Each structure stands twice: as structure tokens, then as C-alpha cells.
């Protein structure tokens, strides 16, 4: 495959950079929120994303008949990477997970109801797959959906729903057939402001909020069923392939690696330059090499996804596994090389790298879990690419 971008693609990336320079705002861009910087959780961030919508960039890969530009996926990749490189909100959830699934499987009603709003960034979504007893094994979800007239009654609990406290709609999987594990789940879109929904905060080690969401006799019309009944797990699997790539961008990893390299280049230990220490040099060389591997794995996923059809599963898992585990290794190296001072909290002025190593160390653990834990990605690669048996 060709790893070079065309002149048109480079020009687009430059245009995005100019736009970001013109709209630079510390209330919108925050690198120290690490991967959680992607969420659109404040009024200013929503206003910024609406500006992206006005430029036609939110639907850059969508078909023109639904308001998009019918562009290649590389443009979406370039946009998202540059947003991530500034610590800004990104296009992953609404445009990618929800929008692309509705485009592929949604009814005309759902397309008319949600697609224009997504392109104008007039709606925010929360995604509900995980439950107390169904985390990595999403097919074990038990949230119960019972037929009630021209709709369904939902009862049960979801957990680790990051955006539930500010989103308007919940993209949620529920069990509509108790006798089938993988063929008994249906996807629903549920308004989060209706009676019967209770949202309780869970605070993570990365200082970010996620949530428990409880359903008590919540009624959902048939109009808000996504795709076919009992096909929800298949749609969720497709969406997770997108999530594993679009929501774990490479730019922040490169940015943190550059920050560590600059620290090593300028700091001393016992009056000796860190850059001359053989052990430090070896560790930096390994991280730089592994960073290039992660970047190329991302480009390989991008290339495979542009061939049409559903997102490529094994390429997605390979990238997500390698990139998020590299992010952890980079965080550990930053803590080790910077010494005890690296334990000072982020934004501490006299801390090495202003405390960035400390926040990265906490946040990167979360990344290896979201979108399917590393162990799940290994299982997917083992079964679907290497052909190994399910129980081995």
C-alpha cells in the first residue's frame, strides 16, 4: 500500500490546521484530558463542532443524498487526527458509530430524524452496551425489552456510559429474545429525558465522569428500533470496529512521545545529559519504532476500510490493541525516565513535563478497556485472522 497522501489530501489537512488556529480556545482544546478530550460535553465544544458541520466536514464520507460529500475515508481520518492532536472534540460517536449504522441499517424514519441533526451537531448520543455482568462479553447483556403495544418496555441497568449525563439520546442494546445469546439483542434509540431513566455518576481514575443508567418501565416506540429485531449484536459488532479505530487516534500518542523526547533532549541526571544515557536512548528508540508501527497499523485499517463494505474487523482490533498498549508503555516510560517528580499532578508548573506523565499514566489504563479490552482484541485476532479455535 502507498503510505503517502495525495496533494489534495495534504491541502485538506493544511486547511484543517488553519481552521483550528483560527478557532483556538483553551475551553475547547485540552491535551491533558488525553483520549477523553474527544467528547463534546460543554456548550463551547458543541459550538465548535457545529462550525465543523457548517464547513461540511462532519459528513465528509457520507453519501451526498444524505447531506454528505461522498468523500474517501482518508479525509475523515485526517480531520480526526488533527482534532486529536490539539486535544479537541472529535467526530467518532455521532458521525461514525450512530450515523454510519443508521445509514447502513436504519429505517427512513430514523434517517430523516437523526442524520440532518448529526451533520449540524444538534444532537449528542450516549452508547450503552456494558452492564454489571456484561462488560467485555457484550452478547451477555440482560437489559430486558418486552413487547408493549406498538413499542417496548425497557427494564434493567447499563454501566460505564460516559456521555449519559449530557447527551439527549441513548444508543442502547437490549435483550428481546431471552432464548438466543447473539441473535436475541435489538438496538434502540431512547430519549434520555423521559421518566423512568435514572443516571448516577461514576468517577474514574482519570478524573472523568462515566455513569450507571437505570431503566424502570421505559417505553420506546417501534419507530426507534434500529434495523431488524434481534440483529442488534451484529450492528454493535460493526460499530465497535469503527470505534476501535476512530476513538483511539494516533496523534496524541505521537504528541506525548515528542514531549518525552524533548524532555530527554534537554534534562540532566546527576549533571549528565539524559540523552547520553545508553538505557534511556534504547528505551526512546524502542518507543519511537513502536510508534511508527502503530501509525502504519492505523493506515492499514484505513486502506482496508476504503475498499467498501463493513469496517475490517481484524485490522481494527490489531490497531486498537497495539496503539492502546503502546500508550501504556509510553506512560510508564515517561514516569520512569522523569523520576519521582513525574508523580506530581498534571498542570504542576515545576513537575517534569508539567505533570503530563502523571495524567497520561492514569488515563491510558482506561483506553485499553474502552471499545473492548485488550484481551478481547487478542481473542478476535486469534479466531478471525489466525483461525485458532474458540476454546484453546
For the segment 68-114, what is each residue's pLDDT rounded down to a tens digit? 999 988 999 999 999 999 999 998 788 989 999 999 999 999 999 99
Residues 215, 283 share a domain: no
pLDDT at residue 308, as a whole number: 65
pLDDT score recorded for residue 295: 95
Angle, alpha carbons 188-102-117 (nearest 5°): 95
On whether residue 68 sits in a domain, the answer given is: yes
Lowest average pLDDT, out of 2-6, 29-33, 165-169, 377-381, goes to 2-6
Both 31 and 58 in a single domain? yes
Q: Are residues 260 and 371 in the same domain?
A: yes
**The predicted structure's pLDDT at residue 1:** 58
Residue 51 confidence class, pLDDT cut points 50, 70, 90 = very high
CATH code where residue 204 lies? 2.40.110.10
Looking at the domain assignment, is residue 118 inside a domain? no
For residue 365, the enclosing domain spans: 248-384
Mean per-residue pLDDT for 14-23?
A: 97
The tally of domains found in the chain comes to 3
**Pair 372, 264 in one domain:** yes
- Return the number of other C-beta atoms located less than 10 Å from residue 392's C-beta: 7
Structural domain includes residue 117: no
Judged against a pLDDT cut of 70, whether residue 34 lies above it is answered with yes
d(CA 266, CA 249): 28
Same domain? For 204 and 282 the reply is no
Among 21-25, 69-73, 326-330, 335-339, the minimum mean pLDDT is found in 69-73
Residues 259 and 326 placed together within one structural domain of the fold: yes
Where a domain ends, among 199, 230, 261?
230
- Cβ-Cβ contacts under 8 Å for 229 (sequence gap 6 or more): 176, 186
What was the pLDDT predicted at 135? 77
pLDDT in tens, 254-309: 999 999 999 999 999 999 999 999 999 999 999 999 999 999 999 998 888 877 66
In a domain, 317, yes or no: yes
* Residue 334 belongs to domain with CATH number: 1.20.140.10
- Residue whose C-alpha cell reads 435489538 in the numeric block: 186
3-state secondary structure of 195: coil
Average pLDDT, the chain: 92
Amino acid at each position: 500500500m502507498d503510505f503517502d497522501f495525495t496533494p489534495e489530501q495534504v491541502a485538506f489537512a493544511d486547511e484543517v490546521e488553519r481552521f483550528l488556529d483560527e478557532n483556538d480556545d483553551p475551553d475547547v482544546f485540552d491535551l491533558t484530558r488525553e483520549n477523553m478530550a474527544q467528547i463534546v460535553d460543554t456548550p463551547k465544544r458543541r459550538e465548535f463542532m457545529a462550525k465543523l458541520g457548517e464547513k461540511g466536514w462532519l459528513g465528509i464520507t457520507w453519501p451526498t443524498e444524505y447531506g454528505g460529500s461522498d468523500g474517501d475515508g482518508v479525509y475523515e481520518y485526517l480531520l480526526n487526527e488533527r482534532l486529536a492532536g490539539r486535544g479537541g472534540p472529535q467526530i467518532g460517536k455521532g458521525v461514525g458509530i450512530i450515523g454510519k449504522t443508521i445509514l447502513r441499517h436504519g429505517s427512513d424514519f430514523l434517517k430523516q430524524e437523526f442524520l440532518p441533526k448529526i451533520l449540524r451537531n444538534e444532537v449528542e448520543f450516549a452508547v450503552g452496551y456494558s452492564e454489571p455482568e456484561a462488560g467485555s462479553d457484550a452478547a451477555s447483556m440482560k437489559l430486558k425489552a418486552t413487547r408493549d403495544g406498538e413499542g417496548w418496555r425497557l427494564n434493567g441497568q447499563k454501566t460505564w456510559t460516559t456521555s449519559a449525563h449530557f447527551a439527549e439520546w441513548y444508543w442502547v442494546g437490549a435483550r428481546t429474545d431471552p432464548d438466543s445469546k447473539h441473535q436475541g439483542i435489538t438496538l434502540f434509540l431512547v430519549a434520555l429525558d423521559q421518566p423512568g431513566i435514572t443516571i448516577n455518576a461514576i468517577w474514574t481514575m482519570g478524573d472523568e465522569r462515566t455513569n450507571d443508567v437505570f431503566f424502570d418501565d421505559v417505553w420506546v416506540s417501534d419507530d426507534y428500533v434500529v434495523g431488524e429485531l434481534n440483529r442488534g449484536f451484529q450492528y454493535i459488532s460493526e460499530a465497535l470496529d469503527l470505534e476501535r479505530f476512530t476513538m483511539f487516534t494516533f496523534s496524541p500518542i505521537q504528541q506525548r512521545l515528542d514531549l518525552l523526547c524533548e524532555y530527554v533532549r534537554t534534562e540532566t541526571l546527576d549533571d549528565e545529559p539524559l540523552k547520553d544515557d545508553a538505557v534511556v536512548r534504547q528505551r526512546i528508540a524502542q518507543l519511537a519504532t513502536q510508534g511508527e508501527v502503530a501509525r502504519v497499523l492505523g493506515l492499514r485499517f484505513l486502506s482496508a476500510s476504503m475498499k467498501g463494505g463493513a469496517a475490517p474487523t481484524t485490522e481494527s482490533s490489531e490497531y486498537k490493541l497495539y496503539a492502546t498498549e503502546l500508550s501504556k508503555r509510553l506512560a510508564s516510560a515517561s514516569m520512569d525516565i522523569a523520576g519521582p517528580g513525574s508523580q506530581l499532578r498534571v498542570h504542576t508548573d515545576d513537575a517534569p513535563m508539567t505533570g503530563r506523565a502523571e495524567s497520561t499514566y492514569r488515563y491510558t489504563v482506561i483506553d485499553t478497556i474502552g471499545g473492548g479490552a485488550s484481551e478481547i482484541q487478542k481473542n478476535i485476532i486469534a479466531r478471525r485472522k489466525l483461525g485458532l479455535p474458540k476454546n484453546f
